[in-house]
Structure 1
Amino acid sequence: MDFLNKILSVPLEQLPFYLVVLVIAFTVHEFSHAYFANKFGDPTAKLLGRVTLNPAVHFDLLGIILLLIAGFGWARPVPVNRDNFKSPRLMGVVVSAAGPLSNFFLAVIGTFIYSLLISTGVLASISNEKLLEAIMMFFQLFGLMNFFLFLFNLIPLPPLDGYRIVEDLVPRRVRGKLQQVEQWSVFIFLLILFIPVLQRYTISPLYQLARDLYYHFMQVFLHILS
Structure 2
Amino acid sequence: MLISLLEIVYMLITTAVIAYIFMDYIKLPTAFFQKPKFDWNNFKFAALVAAPGIILHELSHKFTAMGFGYEATFNIFLFGLFLGIFLKWIKSPFIILAPGYVAIMGAQIGIQNSIIAFAGPFVNLVLWLGSWLILNKSHKLKRKTALFLYLTKQINMILFIFNMIPIPPFDGYQVLSGLIRLF
Question: Same fold judged by TM-score > 0.5?
Answer: yes
User: Scaled by the length of structure 2, what TM-score is found?
Assistant: 0.64
1:141 matched to 2:155? The reply is no
Distance 2:106 2:114 in 1: 10
State the Cα distance separating 1:116 from its structure 2 match: 4.0
Query: Which one has a larger percent strand, Structure 1 or Structure 2?
Result: 2
Task: In structure 1, give the amino acid aligned to 2:102.
Answer: V
Alignment check: 8 A CA contact 1:111 1:139 kept? yes
Pair 1:111–1:63, CA change in 2 (3 A): farther
Matched, 1:99 2:120: yes
How many equivalent residue pairs? 142
The change in CA–CA distance for 1:109 and 1:65 in structure 2 (over 3 A counts) is same
Summarize the alignment of residues 147-166 of structure 1 with structure 2, pairs less than 5 Å apart: 147-166=157-176
How far apart are residue 99 of structure 1 and its match? 0.7
Matched with 1:37 is 65
Say which SS state the counterpart of residue 77 (structure 1) adopts.
strand
Higher helix share: 1
Shift of 1:152: 0.6
Secondary structure at the aligned position of 2:130 is classed as helix
Report the CA distance shift for 1:71/1:99 in structure 2 as closer, same or farther (over 3 A): same
Taking only aligned residues, the RMSD between alpha carbons, in angstroms, comes to 3.1
Q: CA deviation at 1:9?
A: 10
1:32-56 alpha-carbon deviations (Å, 9 max, x no partner): 000100000102x1xx4x4xxxxxx
2:167 maps to a residue whose letter is L
**Shift, 1:79, TM fit:** 0.9
Kept in 1, the 8 Å contact 2:121–2:163? The answer is yes
Q: Deviations over 1:148-204 (max 9, x none)?
A: 1111101122221012223323359xxxxxxxxxxxxxxxxxxxxxxxxxxxxxxxx
Task: Give, in whole Å, the separation in 2 of the partners of 1:169 and 1:103.
Answer: 20
Structure 2 residue runs without a partner (length 5+): 1-20, 29-41
Partner secondary structure for residue 102 of structure 2: coil
Q: 1:63 touches 1:75 (CA, 8 Å); kept in 2?
A: no
Amino acid at match of 2:122: L
Rounded Cα–Cα distance in structure 2 between residues aligned with 1:144 and 1:8: 13
Counterpart-to-counterpart distance in 1, 2:155 and 2:23? 14
Cα distance in 1 for partners of 2:119, 2:87 equals: 22
Question: CA offset at residue 12 of structure 1?
Answer: 6.4
Distance in 2 separating the partners of 1:25 and 1:66: 21
Q: Residue 28 of structure 1 corresponds to which residue in structure 2?
A: 56
Q: Separation in 2 of the partners of 1:34 and 1:156?
A: 21
8 A contact 1:67–1:74 mirrored in 2: no
Q: TM-score, normalised by structure 1?
A: 0.53
Aligned pairs for 1:69-80 within 5 A: 69=92, 70-80=94-104
- Read off the aligned partner of 2:100 and give its amino acid letter: R
